[in-house]
């Protein structure tokens, strides 16, 4: 089982879209996939037509046992997206009380990691959608994952957000004594705008090694798919957005660490 976290402290850069689209493509390829919504806004949860304001079983319950996770709890939180092999654990607005808390308070930093260990036999991939705020939820998702995917909108303000995210990763590296590989994915690219082409150029010169060579372009079909409540590959498999995410997934597969080498990232 592999755990990938999709994170960026900047909002609106395509985190949820990336989580749902990659998850959908993985499930379509035959893998058993679980999406975990850790964002109190619950966009991923709403995507699948579940209301994060209602008291459904949600990821919030994972954090209610002083950092421990009862073995039977994660299974009770899982819902189906309606697509084969694609499940999710929804968010609820209650998560907002945790969002800004520090992970060290009450030893809460490994809740998600314990959860993924409990579910290891049930899924091939767990993809975690995170809130754009540094706190216990983001720290948990970094601690639990094998790699981080950082969607970055190709515009100038987003580059600042990326710097913040990378500072967070450096800090987590010190406190968790663990280096987590990350991949920057340029999103919402529009080659007709100066802001897009310039910021892509800056990304390429500054973050070369950690940057995916492709881009995810602006594609209204991705937005339409979220309105329809189905993963983009179901809504329009031939759309440009889906094709570009498929090529990102190909790259992720090719560059994945072999399972036996993953613990080697421990410092
Ligand atoms: N490549 C794209 N082309 C067109 N629209 C997109 C694309 N990627 C995302 N969007 C749209 O942009 C909006 C923001 O995307 P998304 O919700 O995935 O970002 P986010 O980083 O998860 O935001 P937040 O930080 O608020 O959770 C959504 O309406 C989504 O449908
Ligand atoms: Mg989101």
Q: Ligand 2 centre and the CA of 7: distance in Å?
A: 9
CA distance 224 to 162: 27
Q: Residue 39: CB within 6 Å of ligand 1?
A: yes
Q: What confidence score (pLDDT) does residue 28 get?
A: 98
Q: Can you list the residues of the chain whose pLDDT is less than 70? A: 105, 257-267
Query: What 8-state DSSP symbol labels residue 174?
Result: H
Which stretch of DSSP H or E encloses residue 253?
helix 240-254
Q: What confidence score (pLDDT) does residue 223 get?
A: 98
CA distance 182 to 225: 27
Q: Residue 142: CB within 6 Å of ligand 1?
A: no
> Which two three-digit tokens encode residue 43?
């966009």
What is the number of the ligand closest to the CA of 44?
Answer: 2
Q: Is 56 helix (H, G, I), strand (E, B) or coil?
A: coil
CA distance 106 to 16: 29
Q: Residue 12: CB within 6 Å of ligand 1?
A: yes
CA distance 198 to 117: 42
Residues around ion ligand 2, judged by CB within 5 A, are 15-16, 43
Q: What confidence score (pLDDT) does residue 59 get?
A: 97
Q: Is the separation of the CB atoms in 35 and 141 below 8 Å?
A: no
Which stretch of DSSP H or E encloses residue 22?
helix 15-28
Q: What confidence score (pLDDT) does residue 264 get?
A: 45
Q: Is 141 helix (H, G, I), strand (E, B) or coil?
A: helix
User: 108, 104, 9, 6: which is closest to 64 by C-alpha?
Assistant: 108
The residue contributing the CA closest to ligand 1 atom 29 is: 223
Atom of ligand 1 nearest to the CA of 223: 31
Q: What confidence score (pLDDT) does residue 258 get?
A: 67
CA distance 78 to 225: 22
Q: Ligand 1 centre and the CA of 13: distance in Å?
A: 6
Q: Residue 222: CB within 6 Å of ligand 1?
A: yes
Q: Which strand ranges, in their side-by-side order, compose the sheet holding 78-83?
A: 78-83, 86-89, 33-37, 125-129, 2-6, 147-153, 182-187
Q: Ligand 2 centre and the CA of 130: distance in Å?
A: 7
Domain at 2-264, CATH class:
alpha beta
Task: State the chain's mean pLDDT as an integer.
Answer: 93
Q: What confidence score (pLDDT) does residue 261 get?
A: 56
Q: Which residues pair with 127 in a beta bridge?
A: 4, 35
Atom of ligand 1 nearest to the CA of 8: 21
CA distance 207 to 184: 8
Q: What confidence score (pLDDT) does residue 114 get?
A: 97
Q: Is the separation of the CB atoms in 91 and 52 below 8 Å?
A: yes
User: Which residue matches tokens 């981080």?
Assistant: 148
> Which two three-digit tokens encode residue 103?
């992970």
Q: Residue 115: CB within 6 Å of ligand 1?
A: no
């Amino acid at each position: 089982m592999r755990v990938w976290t999709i994170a960026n402290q900047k909002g609106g850069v395509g985190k949820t879209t990336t989580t749902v689209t990659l998850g959908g493509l993985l499930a379509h390829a035959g893998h058993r996939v679980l999406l975990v919504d850790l964002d109190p806004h619950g966009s991923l949860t709403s995507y699948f037509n579940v209301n994060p304001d209602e008291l459904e079983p949600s990821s919030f319950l994972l954090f209610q046992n002083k950092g421990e996770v009862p073995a039977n709890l994660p299974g009770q939180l899982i819902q189906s997206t309606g697509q084969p092999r694609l499940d999710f654990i929804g968010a609820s607005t209650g998560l907002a009380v945790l969002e800004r808390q520090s992970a060290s308070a009450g030893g809460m930093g490994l809740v998600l990691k314990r959860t993924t260990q409990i579910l290891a036999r049930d899924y091939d991939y767990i993809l975690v959608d995170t809130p754009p705020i540094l706190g216990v939820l983001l720290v948990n998702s970094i601690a639990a994952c094998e790699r981080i995917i950082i969607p970055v909108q190709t515009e100038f303000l987003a580059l600042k957000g990326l710097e913040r995210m990378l500072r967070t990763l450096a800090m987590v590296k010190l406190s968790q004594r663990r280096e987590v590989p990350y991949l920057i994915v340029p999103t919402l690219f529009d080659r007709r705008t100066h802001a897009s082409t310039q910021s892509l150029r800056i990304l390429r010169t500054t973050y070369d090694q950690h940057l995916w060579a492709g881009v995810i372009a602006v594609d209204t079909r991705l937005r339409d798919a979220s309105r329809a409540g189905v993963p983009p590959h179901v809504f329009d498999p031939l759309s440009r957005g889906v094709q570009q995410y498929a090529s990102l997934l190909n790259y992720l597969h090719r560059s994945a660490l072999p399972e036996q080498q993953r613990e080697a990232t421990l410092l």
